[in-house]
Amino acid sequence: MISSYQKTERLTGSTQRRQILCGVMFCGMLILLGKAISLQVLEKDFLKHQGDIRHIVDVNVSAYRGKIVDRNGEPLAISTPVKSVWVNPKQVSDVASQHITGLESLLKLPQGKFTKIIEKNTDKHFVYLKRHVSPVVAAQVKALKITGVHLDREFKRFYPSGEITGHLLGFTDIDDIGQEGLELAFEKVLRGVPGKKRVMRDGKKNVIADIEEISSPVPGRDLQISIDSRLQYLAYRELKAAVKSHQASSGSLVMLDAKTGEVLAVVNQPSFNPNDRGDLQGYRYRNRAMTDVFEPGSTVKPFLIASALDGGYVSANDVVDTSPGYYRIGRNVVRDFRNYGVLGLTDILKKSSNVAVSKIANEMPAEAMWGFYNRLGMGQSAGVGFPGEASGTLIDYQYMNDFEQATLSFGYGVSMSVIQLARAYTALADDGLLHSVTLLKRDYDQDSQRVFTPKTASNIRAMLEHVVEKDGTAYKARVAGYSVAGKTGTVKKIINGSYSNEQYLSLFVGIIPAQDPRLVMAVLIDEPTAGDYYGGAVAGPVFSKVMSRSMRILGVDPSFYQDQKKPLVLASQGYKP
Amino acid sequence: MILRRILLVVVFLGSSVSVVYSQYQARTLFIEIQRLKVSLDRYETEWGQLQLELMTLSEHSRIEDQAHSRLNLVTPKYNEIIYIKQ
């Protein structure tokens, strides 16, 4: 009995226990299932997203900035890949001290800087240690294998011609965005569009794999400019030498193609090296040839004579009596260097007589004279599109009295930049057509405007050839083997509101070869203090030195010569370098 | 009926194998792309370095200096130049 009772008891107990156990297990299973459903179905998107953002990120891929090349394809500005070293302070822990010193000396950081950076930025994931290091240094940094120190690829801009093209090209900032000069003016063309790619990272945020490319980087377009780097170099070298030897405060030079209006060279002093911007100061990086204006002085006299000829106010054979060497207009007096007596038009330009041009100017209605000056681009920007380009000033004819009109005839009361002056001379060089100027390469100028008749323009050039004769004002500007039409200017600077007798601008503008012009060049030397200050003595030799070589480089046929032995020209028709 | 089922199973198996295979191929190609990108990067860097070197060596002032000092070249006067017909 007992046993049977016991058996039943035992049986019942075990059944209950089994049922409880089963129940508990079933509940556990339900909970697990529920959790699984919640994780896999209900919260799947959220959790997957959370997981992804910890491991999958989109990173930028830097794009290549377009090259700037000269008219012959020589590179003037190129971007090359470099590495930037950065650190994730959260990953850095007990780095061997010799590694830190090694890193600091590689990156040229002061001792202890690394530790300082880490301590300062413990809550950050990204701090630059040094940007734009050379590939050689980058490889050495990589070899140190310091945890948390990473390398990124970036581009750095290099300017192979350095200070020679500094003002013209300008420069970019550390993020490769144009800041000055052409880099700024053509930012939209040169700039690439950075791409994006999706990468997978591990828990320590090291990139382990590229997943996909979202958008590929679009490289910037190359820019071909009108500059000829050979002429640019020559111009720079000679201008620098002249500014130095005359102890001048600054200087500018612009060379234009007489037929297309392209800028072939534009240089300034003082200059700067865009590759090394440690000593960057405002006065160094201004492109004076484009941004600074001055009174052009005697260099505008050819325009006055040309206007008077075309307007019918004088004829080619007219003479002007300049004695006694000064000319009274109301309460004011216009003076010549000395009494030149009776002068023909050619001698007016050759001697640069203020009295004669004043008398001619006063024969002309103010409006007519102003009209010619205005059409030559005075008072308007040259339209190159360079940042900070100056437009200069030209007094309005309605408010002009006779004396002001006279001063305008010898280049006071009007201001312009060197590039505007050079541009105005294209009207004389290309038989009366004033060209638009551009820094981009082109074969033909579609925006030229007629200012003078072809006959007048070639007449004036013939007159200006006498300026570089032995008794002209710019004998030193002559170029052996080539005829030169040019005009000097020696301008008194305005100091504290009145014209100074001690500080001058020395100018020379020339056209070469005079009969069939190829180039126009304007040279300005500001405040020469070494003795000479006449335009012909200071700026003239620069013209001569630059042009004699430029003619050879461009292969211009030296068929027009007046002095010395004839060069043996077997033939030069159709000669192309 | 049975034949159709067998056909379905075969198609199913075939498709799963091809999925696996194409995944494998994609991975192989991806690795190849990565490898090529790394070498492209290296070549680009080298190209940049070579360009800089070329530009430094062919600088106008350097060439002029070398021509004068090392080769003793001089600029001929204009009347020493002979132009030859082409």
Q: What's the pLDDT tens digit per position in A372-430?
A: 999 999 988 888 888 889 999 998 888 888 889 999 999 988 999 999 999 999 999 99
Q: What angle do CA A439, A440, A444 make, to 5 degrees?
A: 110
Q: What angle do CA A363, A434, A238 make, to 5 degrees?
A: 105
pLDDT reported for residue A1? 47
Evaluate if residue A570 carries a pLDDT over 70: no
Q: How far apart are CA A154 and CA A174, in angstroms?
A: 10
Band (pLDDT 50/70/90 cuts) for residue A265 is very high
| CA-CA-CA-CA torsion sign (A421, A423, A424, A425) | positive
Q: Which residue has better confidence, A59 or A439?
A: A439
For range A97-118, the mean pLDDT: 81
pLDDT reported for residue A6? 55
* SS3 assignment, position A300: helix
Q: What's the pLDDT tens digit per position in A215-241?
A: 888 888 999 999 999 999 999 999 999
For range A560-567, the mean pLDDT: 48
Structure ipTM: 0.70
Q: What's the pLDDT tens digit per position in A180-190?
A: 889 999 999 99
- The candidate with the shortest Cα–Cα distance to A290, out of A175, A433, A416, A191, is A416
Catalytic residue among A298, A352, A448, A506: A298
| pTM metric for this prediction | 0.81
Q: What is the DSSP letter of A343?
A: E
Band (pLDDT 50/70/90 cuts) for residue A563 is very low
Chain A interface test: which of B45, B51, B86 (most A C-beta within 10 Å):
B45
pLDDT reported for residue A8? 56
pLDDT reported for residue A572? 45
For range A546-557, the mean pLDDT: 88
Q: Which residue has the tokens 């012959």?
A: A72
Does residue A216 sit at the B interface (CB-CB below 8 Å)?
no
CA distance A74 to chain B (A): 9
pLDDT reported for residue A278? 66
Q: Which residue has the tokens 């200069």?
A: A392
For residue A240, give the amino acid letter.
K
For residue A396, give the amino acid letter.
D
Extents of the domains making up chain B = 2-73
Instruction: Show residues of chain B in contact with A480, CB under 8 Å.
Output: 77-79
Token reading at A191: 């700039």
Does residue A158 sit at the B interface (CB-CB below 8 Å)?
yes
Q: What's the pLDDT tens digit per position in A443-482?
A: 988 889 999 999 999 999 999 999 998 888 889 999 988 8
| CA-CA-CA-CA torsion sign (A157, A158, A164, A165) | negative
Closest residue in B to A556 (Cα) is B83
Q: Nearest CB to B52: which of A153, A158, A229?
A: A158
Token reading at A399: 């408010």
Q: What's the pLDDT tens digit per position in B5-61?
A: 999 999 999 999 999 999 999 888 988 888 898 898 888 888 888 888 888 888 888
User: Three-state SS across A87-101?
Assistant: ECCCCCCCCCHHHHH
Q: What is the DSSP letter of B76?
A: P
What stretches of A231-385 adopt beta strand conformation (E)? 250-257, 263-269, 319-321, 326-329, 332-335, 342-344
For range A252-264, the mean pLDDT: 94
For range A243-255, the mean pLDDT: 94
pLDDT reported for residue A174? 82
Q: Supply the mean pLDDT for chain A.
A: 86
Q: Which residue has better confidence, A217 or A265?
A: A265
Evaluate if residue A553 carries a pLDDT over 80: yes
A160/B52 touch (CB, cutoff 8 Å), yes or no: yes
pLDDT reported for residue B34? 80
Least confident of A75-89, A349-363, A426-440: A75-89
- The candidate with the shortest Cα–Cα distance to A268, out of A294, A243, A295, A297, is A243
Q: How far apart are CA A454 and CA A16, in angstroms?
A: 123
* SS3 assignment, position A282: helix
Distances (CA, A) of A1 to A10, A12, A15, A73, A569: 14, 16, 21, 117, 146
Band (pLDDT 50/70/90 cuts) for residue A488 is very high
Instruction: Show residues of chain A in contact with B30, CB under 8 Å.
Output: 210
- Domains recognised in chain A with CATH numbers: 59-224 (3.90.1310.10), 229-554 (3.40.710.10)
Least confident of A199-203, A238-242, A518-522: A199-203
Question: In the annotation, is A250 catalytic?
Answer: no
Evaluate if residue A4 carries a pLDDT over 60: no
